[in-house]
Structure 1
C-alpha cells in the first residue's frame, strides 16, 4: 500500500466535478499515450481512506477500468479523490475534487455551481454540455434538451450536435444561464442528468473599415467671431488614425493655435469595436473659415474613411421668432381667459360703473327689477323671507347700488287691482327677480297666484324679461316646484344666499351681491319723480276704468 495525501503536490490536477445530489457522475483518470492495459495498475481512492474504491459494478461507487462511477452521487460523497497509476518503473498520482450539491426547491438551476463557458460573437458558436462523455455510448444514447433561463430553446438560431448546443449569429444577448438535461440507464434503472452552464459572450470585433457617425458631410451655421466645437465620432478606427484636416493641412492635436484638435477619447461599442471622439475646436471663427470643408479622417487595417463639415453664415431664424410669438400669444390668451373667468363679474361691474353709466341709452322703462316672492303671514321661514325682501334687498340694491325695485305691497297703492298693477309694472321693468324661501314654502305659495302666472307669462312669452332666481335656503329638490320655476332654474340657474342679516352680509361688495348685480341691468340715473310716477298713473287708469 502507498500512503495517501490530500490534493496537494500531485503530478496532475484534474478539473473539478460538480453534480447535483441524486444524479450519476463518472470521472476519468487520464493515461499517457502508448500505455497498454497490461503495463500498469490503476486504482481509485478517496483521500483520507486507505481502502480502494471497489470494482463491483453493483456497488453505488465503483471503479471500471480508469473511471470512478457514482450511481448516483450523494452529498456525503463530496471531497477529494485520487487515482494512483503504477508500473514496473514509475508511480503517478492524479487528484480531482468532487462537489455534490442539493437543488434548491423552486429553482431550475443553481448559478453557484454552474460550469463557466465563454463564446464569441461570430457567425456560430458551440456550447458544451460538460461531463457527459461516459454516459453516451452506442448502446445508451438519450436525447439532450437545452434550456436558457429555464425556457426550452427552440428556433432556427439553435441546433443540436450530439450533446452540444450550436448557436448561430451569436450576439451579446445570448449570454446567460443554460441547462442541459438527459437521462442514463444502468442495470435497468434510469437516472436523470442535468448540467448548469454560466455562459459569457465576448464580442469579436468585425473585420471591416471604420465608420464615422458624425460629421456626415453636412454644414452648420455659426456666427462670425464665435467659438465652435465639432465632434468627430468614429467606430472601429485605430486611436491615432483619427484626425482633422483643414484646407488639406493636418490640424495638430497639441499645438494650441486658433484652430486645433483635442486628444481622442476612447470607449467600446456593443460589438467590441473601439469608439473614438476627436474634437475640432475653432476658438474664433474668421471669414476665411466659411465655405471650406474641415475633414475628419479615420482608418484601420481594413480601410480608410473621411467625412467633412462646412461652416456657413447664420441666417436669421424667422420661424423660431414666429413660433415664439405664437406661443407667447397663446400663453397670454390663456392667462387672460383664466383671469377673465375668475374676475369676470368684477370686470363687468367695473365696466358698468366707469363706462355704461355715461353711455347708456334710454329704454323707456322705470324699474330695474320686479320682485316676486311667496307671501304669507306665519312661520319663521316666511318671516325671514319677508325680512330679506322688504329690508335687505332694498337696502343693498336701492340704497347702496342705486337700483330701482318694484315690490308688490310696498310700492303699489292700497285698493289697486293686483293684476293691473303687476301687468303694467312688469312692462316697465327690466328684470324679473324671483325670491324662493324654503322648499315647502316656495312650492306651496308660488303656485296658481295671479301675480305669479302673469309674471311668468311676461318673462317667458310676451316680453322676454330676463329672470333672476334667488334662493334663501339651499333647495335640493325642484320636482314639486311649478314647471315655470323648474324651467328658469334649468336655463338660468340660481344665486344662493348663504349669509345672515349682519352688516357684513349686507354689503354690496360680497360675492352674493356681486352675482346679483352682475345679472341686474346697467345702472341708470332716474329722477325722484319718475320713481313714483308709475303708481299714480296706474291709479288714474284704474279710476277711469271703474
Structure 2
C-alpha cells in the first residue's frame, strides 16, 4: 500500500494554497493595518492592489492614508473592501511584499458585533487585553462586553487597556469585546475589537489555511446541472473550540440566503500530527445564469484569524466541429492507433493486465449493475478511522470517479440516514460489480463486524456473485487474526491469478 500512502501525501501537498491575510472591520469605525516590522531603517510603501495605485500620506479630508508601517481608514466604509499590499524596501535594493484583504461589514442596529472580528486568546490566567489598542494613540476604552452583553460584576477588574477576571472558571469562556474611542485632529472615531478567552486551553490554534479550492479558481459548469463545491481548511492542532468553514455567495453567508438550491454539509477530522481539518461542501442542485455572475467564497475562521478563497463559475466551452477539424482529428486518430499498436506489441502483458483490472467493468453491458464497486471500511471516531474516512470520502472519489470515471457506492454518501439501512446496503452490494475492502488493524481487532461486511462476504463466498479487492491501508503483517472468510479470499488470490499479479506489480 505504499502507492496509496504516496498518493495521499501528494494530493494533500498539491492542494495547499496560500491566500492573503484578511482583516474585518465594522462600517463607520476606525481601522489600522500593520505591516510586519523588519527594521526601523526600512521604507514601507502601501498599494491598493485593485487599482495598482500608491496610497499616499495623509492629506486634508482623506479617509485612507499611510503612515510608515501603518495603513489607516478613518473611518471605514463599504467601498474600502478590497485588497492592499505593503512593500518593504531594504537597503540592498531587495523588496518583500505582504498582501492584505479588507472586508468591511455593514452596521446593523441591535445586531451583535460581527463574529469574524476577533483576535486569539493570549493568556489563560484571567487577563484579557484589548486587541489593537496600542495602534491608536491616547485611545480610551468606553465599554467591555462579554458575548455582546455589557460586562458587569465584582469579579472583573478593569485596567487601562485590559480587564482581569478573578479566579476564571469555565463559564467565563467566551468572546470579550472592548469598544474604545480614538480622537484624530478633533474627530472622534469608535473601534470594536473582540478577543476569545479560554480559561484552560487544551488545544493549539494555527493561522487558518485553506487547502482547496485555490483563490481565483474558475470552475466550468453546465446550466441546469448540479454542482458540489468543496472547501477544506486546516485550523489548528487537536479539536478547536472555534472552527468554522463556510461558504459565502457575494459576501452573504449561505445560511442566510433564501435559496432552496443551495445546501451546506460540513464534517471535520484529524490528520497526521493531530492537525485539525474541517471541510464544507456547498451543494447546488441546479446551476442558473445568475450563478455565473456570482462570487463563491470559502471562509475559514478560528481563534487566531480568518482567511478566504473565492471561485467563480463559467460555462463549458461549446466547440464546433468543422470538416477541417474532423480531417485533422482523423489523422491524429490514425497516428494514435499506430502508436498504440507499437506500444501493445512491446508491453502486451502489462497492458492486458491493466485493461482487465481497470477498464473491464465498462465493457460489461446490461448486467444490471449500477456501481463499479462498493467500499467497505471501518466506521468509528478514532484518529485511524478519521484518516480512513478521509481516504474514502476524498481521495478515492477524486481519483477513481473524477479522474477515471468509475462509480463508487460509499456508505454515508450514497446511503443516507432515514432509509431502511439493511435493505439499502443489501441492494447496493447486489448492484455493485466489485467489493473494495480496506484492511486496517482496527478491522482485524474488531470483534463485531458491520452489517455491510457480512452481506458482502456472503455475496462473494456463497453466491459467488461479486469479486473482492482487498487494500491494505497499513502494514498488517500476519493474517492469522483475520476472520476466516477474509483469509479464504486472500488464499484464493494466489500468485497464479491475474488480480494478485497486478497488485504485486503496484
TM range (shorter): 0.3 to 0.5
- Greater RCO, 1 or 2 (C-alpha within 8 Å, sep 6+): 2
Computing the radius of gyration over CA atoms, which structure comes out larger, 1 or 2?
1
Q: TM-score, normalised by structure 1?
A: 0.31
